[in-house]
Amino acid sequence: MKICMIGAGYVGLVSAACFSEFGFDVTCVDNNPERLKQMEEGRSPIYEPGLDDLMARNIAAGRLRFSGDLGPAVKAADIVFLAVGTPMRRGDGHADLSYVYGAVEELAPYLDGFTVITTKSTVPVGTSREIQRRLAALRPDAEYAVCSNPEFLREGSAIQDFTHPDRVLVGLDDARAQEVMEKLYKPLSIRNAPVMFVSRESAELAKYAANAFLALKISFINEIADLCEEVGANVQEVASAIGKDRRIGDKFLHPGPGYGGSCFPKDVSAIIRTARESKSPLSIIEQVQIVNDERKIAMAGRIVKAANGSVRDKTIAVLGVTFKPNTDDMRDAPSLVIVPMLQERGATVRVYDPQGQKQAEPLLPGVTWCADANDAILGADVAVVLTEWNEFRALDLKAARARMSGDVLVDLRNIFSADAARAAGLRYHSIGRPVSAD
């Protein structure tokens, strides 16, 4: 079976590499010349653990190749995936579908024989139907079925998530397409991964509903963390107690500086738009969006407060700027709100991120980039943990205190223990836990 993957980003490239690992013949098409050049040289243009090796193995086996020309790949394909971006549209906050429909127009002339065309991108409910309508106008003669196959992988553990999914969700209304999709996901269903066939509308909406629910969980625990601070409770104890209840579950109950990333903010915004347009507003999710926006601003305020009320002429070391660890993705990262606010209040900011510097450099002007965490904290009045990269967990706090000129550690990810920080002579501020006695 031949697959054409249009869009070689975090989702498209990982999916393409994993499908080729299953033994399928995959051509990954991208129109970004820089990304294409790197992939043609066998290098991943994104940081994702394990991806370089997976690519190398399958390129060498002749099952995975890259191209800037979708014509031949679409012509030969049994399945064409659309894995292009669906960013937030400026102005109304809906999903911008211009890349999806642009790709549909590009591929239409090359459809040859029965082809399954399926979105892997996150697209609003009704998009499959609209793609079908457009294709019917562009290629009334062609044989195809349009499906929805939303992707649930997480950056940082994308290969594991793709190959061991909680479920595979396929929305379709065509028996021939179902046969093709069953064959495609056989390597997973044989290992007992649930492959669910549902309507296209259900598949499209389920992806947004899942992300909205996860965003809700994060905002919920962030507000509980604030309450913990006021009443003297410890959010980690509260989260672990409620998480034992299987109706609640223990995942996504870590408080922090607010959710970010390439999915939650834009998907929350898009489902709010869909719901309003459908005259069935999601008032809870609208509030989640407000809570999260306010959270990032509040976290900058918390750093200022920890610095005795002012960061003017102070040096702040920021450890981690990506929206989460194990990715270089900077899209909608909380750091993009917090760091500029500190700069506006007169702080000098020194930053270290294990993988994010290249993407972050143009987005965070005026900061000093440092070679590692120890370099970043040198001479700092305040050190802030913004992203919980594992390498920060082993930081020697006593040595860190000695390198700093101040003694304030703001841990927005709760990776250190208050006792250890205090023993190192630091004034320690974390989230939702008893404040360090200064």
Interface with ligand NAI includes 35 (CB under 6 A)?
A: yes
263 catalytic per annotation: yes
165 alpha carbon, distance to own chain's centre: 16
Contact letters (x/-) for ligand NAI, 185-224, by CB under 6 A?
Answer: ----------------------------------------
Nearest residue (CB) to ligand NAI, 30 versus 332: 30
Among 262, 292, 355, 359, binds ligand NAI (CB under 6 A): 262
Q: How far is the CB of 211 from ligand NAI (least distance, A)?
A: 8
Interface with ligand NAI includes 332 (CB under 6 A)?
A: no
Among 16, 28, 84, 408, binds ligand NAI (CB under 6 A): 84
Interface with ligand NAI includes 103 (CB under 6 A)?
A: yes
Size of the site for ligand NAI (CB under 6 A): 27
User: 188-221 as b/e, with b when 16 or more CB fall inside 10 Å?
Assistant: beeeeeebebeebbbbbbbbbebbbebbbbbbbb
Stretch that binds ligand NAI, among 83-91, 127-135, 350-358, 410-418 (CB under 6 A): 83-91
Q: How far is the CB of 153 from ligand NAI (least distance, A)?
A: 5
**Where in 257-398 does DSSP place strands (E)?**
315-319, 348-352, 368-369, 382-385
Determine the 3-state secondary structure of 11 from DSSP. Answer: helix
> Which residue among 4, 28, 263, 370 is the active-site one?
263
Q: Are the C-beta atoms of 322 and 356 separated by less than 8 Å? A: yes
Nearest residue (CB) to ligand NAI, 45 versus 432: 45
Among 83, 270, 319, 377, binds ligand NAI (CB under 6 A): 83
Determine the 3-state secondary structure of 238 from DSSP. Answer: helix
Nearest residue (CB) to ligand NAI, 19 versus 99: 99
Distance between CA 282 and CA 433 in Å, rounded? 31
Q: How far is the CB of 17 from ligand NAI (least distance, A)?
A: 13
Among 17, 26, 29, 74, binds ligand NAI (CB under 6 A): 29
Nearest residue (CB) to ligand NAI, 73 versus 412: 73
Distance between CA 119 and CA 382 in Å, rounded? 46
353 alpha carbon, distance to own chain's centre: 17
Q: In what side-by-side order are the strands of the sheet with 427-429?
A: 368-369, 348-352, 315-319, 382-385, 408-411, 427-429
Nearest residue (CB) to ligand NAI, 108 versus 316: 108
Q: Are the C-beta atoms of 391 and 402 separated by less than 8 Å? A: no
Q: Which residue is nearest to ligand NAI (CB)?
A: 9
Nearest residue (CB) to ligand NAI, 244 versus 358: 358
Q: How far is the CB of 341 from ligand NAI (least distance, A)?
A: 26
Q: Are the C-beta atoms of 26 and 5 separated by less than 8 Å? A: yes
Contact letters (x/-) for ligand NAI, 127-166, by CB under 6 A?
Answer: ------------------------x-x-x-----------
Among 44, 58, 122, 335, binds ligand NAI (CB under 6 A): 122
Interface with ligand NAI includes 121 (CB under 6 A)?
A: yes
Among 24, 81, 99, 416, binds ligand NAI (CB under 6 A): 99
Distance between CA 56 and CA 41 in Å, rounded? 10
DSSP for 34-82, written as a single string: HHHHHHHTT--SS--TTHHHHHHHHHHTTSEEEES-HHHHHHH-SEEEE
Interface with ligand NAI includes 258 (CB under 6 A)?
A: no
Among 3, 4, 8, 299, binds ligand NAI (CB under 6 A): 8
Nearest residue (CB) to ligand NAI, 99 versus 416: 99
Nearest residue (CB) to ligand NAI, 83 versus 360: 83
Task: Tell me the chain's radius of gyration from C-alpha atoms.
Answer: 23
Distance between CA 351 and CA 373 in Å, rounded? 8
Residue 297 contacts by C-beta under 8 Å, 6 or more apart in sequence? Answer: 337, 341
Q: In what side-by-side order are the strands of the sheet with 2-6?
A: 64-67, 25-29, 2-6, 79-82, 115-119, 144-148, 168-171, 195-198
**How many angstroms separate the Cα of 371 from the Cα of each of 242, 324, 333, 389, 409?**
40, 19, 21, 15, 20
Catalytic residue annotation:
263
User: Which residues here bind ligand NAI, judged by CB under 6 A?
Assistant: 6-12, 29-32, 35, 83-86, 99, 102-103, 106, 121-122, 151, 153, 155, 262-263
